[in-house]
C-alpha cells in the first residue's frame, strides 16, 4: 500500500520526493529549514506536548503548529467534536450552527469585538481588514511597521517579518511598485515617525495595521504608551487602527495581547478592527476579522465592501475552533503561563551558564530568545536583525538531536502549550545545557 510506504519513508526520502514536486519541498517557506540547514522532519502524529516524525522519533514540540496547539496536539475534546462534525458532512456552502456559535463565543470573550466574519487564513483576515479600512474612509494608504508580519497579501509584504525575515528578503517579487507605494512602512515603537507620517499624509491614510505585540521578528512588545499614541494619532486623523492578533490572540493571554494592554489605554481609544487566526481555528484552516459593528457592517451583503469565501466558516474548522476556545479556561491559561515562565527561565539559565549572550523577550505567555548582545530590549526590526542566526542554527540542531523541536528560525516565538507538563519540560531542560554549549562555540 502506498500509504504504508509513506508511513515508513525516512525524513530524507520524503524531503527528496518533496523537492521533485513541491517548490523548495515545502508548502510554506519557513518549514524548509533554510536558515538552520539540515533535513526537515516529517511529522505523522502529535499528542499533547509531543510530536512523532515519520521515522518514529518523538520530540517535545515547541512549534505548536505555529500557535494553534494552545492546549496541546490532538486535544481529546476537540478530536471528538471534530470527528462528530466530519461524520455529518464536510461543509455545505451554506450557513451552519457551529459558525454562529464560534462568532458568539469570540464576541463574548472580547469586549471590543461586536461582529465577526470568519475566513480561512490570517492572510485573508488582514486583507479584508485593510479593504474595510479603505472602504470606510475612502482613502488609499496603509501604515504598517517594519518586521510585523500580516500574511502574504501584496500590500503587506513590505519589510515583513516571519518567513521574509528568515530568508532576509526585503519584500517579494511580483508586487507592483503601485501596490507597494500604498503601504507606508514605519519603524516600530517610533512615535515621532508616526506623527511625521500622519502630518505628511494624514488625509490619505485609511488606517494603520499593527501586530498587538510583534511576534514574527521574535517578540518585540509595544513600549508603554505606544499603542495608545497610535490609536490617538490615527483617530485624530480619521484613520482606523487594525490590531492583528492572528498570532497573539487567545494566546499571549486569554484576550490576546491587547487584553493585557487594554486597561492602561484610555477608554475612548480602542482599535477599530482585529484579526485572528492560528488558535481561533484550533489547528484547522480558520481565521477571523472582527471589530466595531458599524465598520463590520460595511461588508457585503449589508455594505459595499466585498469579501467572501467558499470555505469560510467551514463547519469542521469552526467546530475545532469552538472546542479549543471552550476548553481554554482559566486553569489552562495558568498552566500555559507556568510552562512559559519555567521554560523561559531555564533557557536563560542554560545559555547564561554556557556564556552565550542572549535576551529572552516576553509578551504574556509568549516568549522568544535573541542570540547576541542585547543590553537593552530591541524596539524594532533594525535591532533584532543584529542577532546571531548561525548560533541559533547550532542550538536548534543540538536541541532537535536531543528530541526537542524548536521553530526552524531565529525570528519566531517559541510556542509552549498548556499540555507542556513537568515531564515534557524536564525533557527540554535536560537537553538545554549541551545545546547551549554547542551554541557557545
Ligand atoms: C500567521 C500570521 C498571519 C498570517 O496568517 P496565515 O494563516 O498564515 O495566512 C497574519 N498575521 C500574523 C500576526 C501572523 O502571525
Per-residue pLDDT of the chain (441 residues; tens, 9 = 90+): 444 545 679 999 999 999 999 999 999 999 999 999 999 999 999 999 999 999 999 999 999 999 999 999 999 999 999 999 999 999 999 999 999 999 999 999 999 999 999 999 999 999 999 999 999 999 999 999 999 999 999 989 877 776 666 665 667 888 888 888 899 999 999 999 999 999 999 999 999 999 999 999 999 999 999 999 999 999 999 999 999 999 999 999 999 999 999 999 999 999 999 999 999 999 999 999 999 999 999 999 999 999 999 999 999 999 999 999 999 999 999 999 999 999 999 999 999 999 999 999 999 999 999 999 999 999 999 999 999 999 999 999 999 999 999 999 999 999 999 999 999 999 999 999 999 999 998
Q: Which atom of ligand 1 is nearest to the CA of 120?
A: 7
Res 2: pLDDT: 44
Residues 254, 287, single domain; the answer is yes
Asked if residue 200 belongs to a domain, the reply is: yes
What residues form DSSP beta bridges with 305? 299
In SS3 terms, the chain reads as CHHHHHHHCCHHHHHHHHHHHCHHHCCCHHHHCCCCCCCCCCEEEEEECEEEECCCCEEEECCHHHCCCCCCECCHHHHHHHHHHHHCCCCCCCCCHHHHHHHHHHHHHCCCCCEEEEECCHHHHHHHHHHHHHHHHCCCEEEEECCCCCCCCHHHCCCCCCHHHHCCCCCCCCCCHHHHCCEEEECCCCHHHHHHHHHHHHHHEEEEEEECCECCCCCECCCCCHHHHHHHHHHHCCCEEEEEECCCCCCCCCCHHHHHHHHHCCCCCCCCEEEECHHHHCCCCCEEEEECHHHHCCECCCCCECCCCCCCCCHHHHHHHHHHHHHCCHHHHHHHHHHHHHHHHHHHHHHHHCCCCEEEEEECCEEEEEECCCCCCCCCHHHHCCCCHHHHHHHHHHHHHCCEECCCCCCCCECCCCCCCHHHHHHHHHHHHHHHHHHHC
Asked if residue 231 belongs to a domain, the reply is: yes
Per the structure, how many domains does the chain have?
2
The alpha carbon of 270 and the centre of ligand 1 are apart by a number of angstroms equal to 22
Residues 131, 168, single domain; the answer is yes
Asked if residue 300 belongs to a domain, the reply is: yes
For residues 93 and 78, the answer to whether their CB atoms sit within 8 Å is no
The CATH number of residue 266's host domain is 3.40.640.10
The alpha carbon of 100 and the centre of ligand 1 are apart by a number of angstroms equal to 23
Res 131: pLDDT: 98
Q: Which atom of ligand 1 is nearest to the CA of 148?
A: 13
Among candidate residues 327, 360, 383, the one where a domain is terminated: 327
Handedness of CA 74, 324, 27, 186 (dihedral sign): negative
Res 1: pLDDT: 40
- Report the nearest-CA residue for atom 10 of ligand 1: 150
Q: Which atom of ligand 1 is nearest to the CA of 126?
A: 10
Exposure of 140 in the CB half-sphere (CA atoms within 13 A): 7
Asked if residue 363 belongs to a domain, the reply is: no
What value does the mean pLDDT of the chain take? 95
* Catalytic annotation, residues: 149, 244, 278
Asked if residue 169 belongs to a domain, the reply is: yes
The alpha carbon of 111 and the centre of ligand 1 are apart by a number of angstroms equal to 22
Range of the domain at 337: 329-349+412-441
- Report the nearest-CA residue for atom 6 of ligand 1: 122
Asked if residue 37 belongs to a domain, the reply is: no
The alpha carbon of 283 and the centre of ligand 1 are apart by a number of angstroms equal to 13
The alpha carbon of 236 and the centre of ligand 1 are apart by a number of angstroms equal to 28
Res 3: pLDDT: 47
The alpha carbon of 277 and the centre of ligand 1 are apart by a number of angstroms equal to 7
9: its cell numbers: 519513508
Residues 152, 287, single domain; the answer is yes
Query: Which of 66, 217, 278 is the pocket-test mutation for ligand 1 (most atoms within 8 Å of CB)?
Result: 278
Residues 103, 132, single domain; the answer is yes
Query: Which of 163, 165, 246 is the pocket-test mutation for ligand 1 (most atoms within 8 Å of CB)?
Result: 246
Q: Which residues line ligand 1 (CB under 6 A)?
A: 121-123, 126, 149-151, 211, 216, 244, 246-247, 277, 287
Query: Which of 26, 123, 218, 286 is the pocket-test mutation for ligand 1 (most atoms within 8 Å of CB)?
Result: 123
Residues 172, 286, single domain; the answer is yes
Handedness of CA 399, 418, 274, 344 (dihedral sign): negative
Residues 259, 334, single domain; the answer is no
Residues 241, 335, single domain; the answer is no
C-alpha separations of 413 from 66, 173, 283, 363, 407 in Å = 8, 26, 17, 10, 7
CA neighbor of 149 nearest in space, from 29, 312, 3, 255: 29
Q: Which atom of ligand 1 is nearest to the CA of 122?
A: 5
Tens digits of per-residue pLDDT, 360-409? 999 999 999 999 999 999 999 999 999 999 999 999 999 999 999 999 99
Q: Which atom of ligand 1 is nearest to the CA of 244?
A: 13
The alpha carbon of 276 and the centre of ligand 1 are apart by a number of angstroms equal to 8
For residues 38 and 413, the answer to whether their CB atoms sit within 8 Å is no
CA neighbor of 395 nearest in space, from 420, 432, 354, 425: 432
Among candidate residues 277, 294, 327, the one where a domain is terminated: 327
Query: Which of 68, 70, 129, 150 is the pocket-test mutation for ligand 1 (most atoms within 8 Å of CB)?
Result: 150
Res 160: pLDDT: 75
Residues 128, 217, single domain; the answer is yes
Q: Which atom of ligand 1 is nearest to the CA of 211?
A: 13
Residues 323, 338, single domain; the answer is no
Residues 259, 340, single domain; the answer is no
Residues 220, 290, single domain; the answer is yes
Asked if residue 315 belongs to a domain, the reply is: yes
Among candidate residues 261, 292, 327, the one where a domain is terminated: 327
Residues 232, 333, single domain; the answer is no
Asked if residue 42 belongs to a domain, the reply is: no
Tens digits of per-residue pLDDT, 242-281? 999 999 999 999 999 999 999 999 999 999 999 999 999 9
Amino acid at each position: 500500500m502506498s500509504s504504508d510506504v509513506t508511513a515508513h519513508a525516512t525524513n530524507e526520502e520524503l524531503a527528496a520526493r518533496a523537492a521533485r514536486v513541491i517548490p523548495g519541498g515545502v508548502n510554506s517557506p519557513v518549514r524548509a529549514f533554510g536558515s538552520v540547514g539540515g533535513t526537515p522532519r516529517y511529522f505523522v502524529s502529535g499528542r499533547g506536548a509531543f510530536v512523532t516524525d515519520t521515522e518514529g522519533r518523538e520530540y517535545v514540540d515547541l512549534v505548536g503548529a505555529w500557535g494553534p496547539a494552545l492546549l496541546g496536539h490532538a486535544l481529546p475534546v476537540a478530536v471528538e467534536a471534530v470527528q462528530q462534525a466530519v461524520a455529518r458532512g464536510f461543509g455545505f456552502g451554506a450557513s451552519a450552527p457551529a459558525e454562529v456559535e464560534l462568532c458568539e463565543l469570540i464576541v463574548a470573550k472580547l469586549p471590543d469585538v461586536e461582529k465577526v466574519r470568519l475566513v480561512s487564513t490570517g492572510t485573508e483576515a488582514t486583507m479584508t481588514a485593510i479593504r474595510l479600512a479603505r472602504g470606510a474612509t475612502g482613502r488609499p494608504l496603509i501604515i504598517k511597521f517594519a518586521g510585523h508580519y500580516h500574511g502574504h497579501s501584496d500590500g503587506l509584504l513590505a519589510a515583513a517579518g516571519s518567513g521574509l525575515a528568515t530568508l532576509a528578503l526585503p519584500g517579494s517579487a511580483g508586487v507592483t511598485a503601485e501596490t507597494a507605494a500604498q503601504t507606508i512602512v514605519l519603524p516600530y515603537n517610533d512615535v515621532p515617525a508616526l506623527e511625521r507620517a500622519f502630518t505628511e499624509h494624514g488625509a490619505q491614510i485609511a488606517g494603520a495595521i499593527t501586530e498587538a505585540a510583534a511576534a514574527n521578528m521574535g517578540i518585540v512588545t509595544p513600549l508603554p504608551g505606544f499603542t495608545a499614541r497610535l490609536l490617538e494619532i490615527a483617530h485624530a486623523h480619521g484613520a482606523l487602527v487594525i490590531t492583528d492578533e492572528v498570532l497573539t490572540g487567545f494566546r499571549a493571554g486569554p484576550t490576546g495581547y491587547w487584553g493585557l494592554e487594554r486597561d492602561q489605554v484610555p477608554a475612548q481609544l480602542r482599535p477599530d478592527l482585529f484579526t485572528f487566526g492560528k488558535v481561533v481555528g484550533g489547528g484547522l484552516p480558520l481565521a477571523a476579522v472582527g471589530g466595531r459593528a458599524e465598520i463590520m457592517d460595511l461588508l457585503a451583503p449589508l455594505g459595499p465592501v466585498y469579501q467572501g469565501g467558499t470555505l469560510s466558516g467551514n463547519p469542521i474548522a469552526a467546530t475545532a475552533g469552538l472546542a479549543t476556545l471552550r476548553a481554554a479556561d482559566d486553569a489552562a491559561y495558568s498552566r500555559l503561563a507556568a510552562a512559559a515562565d519555567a521554560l523561559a527561565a531555564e533557557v536563560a539559565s542554560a545559555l547564561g551558564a554556557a556564556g552565550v549572550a542572549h535576551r529572552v523577550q516576553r509578551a504574556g505567555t509568549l516568549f522568544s530568545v535573541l542570540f547576541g548582545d542585547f543590553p537593552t530590549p530591541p524596539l524594532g526590526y533594525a535591532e533584532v536583525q543584529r542577532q546571531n542566526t548561525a548560533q541559533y542554527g547550532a542550538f536548534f540542531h543540538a536541541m532537535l538531536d536531543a528530541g526537542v523541536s524548536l521553530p526552524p528560525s531565529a525570528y519566531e516565538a517559541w510556542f509552549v502549550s498548556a499540555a507542556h507538563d513537568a515531564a515534557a519540560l524536564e525533557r527540554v531542560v535536560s537537553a538545554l545545557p549541551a545545546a547551549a554549549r554547542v551554541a557557545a562555540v
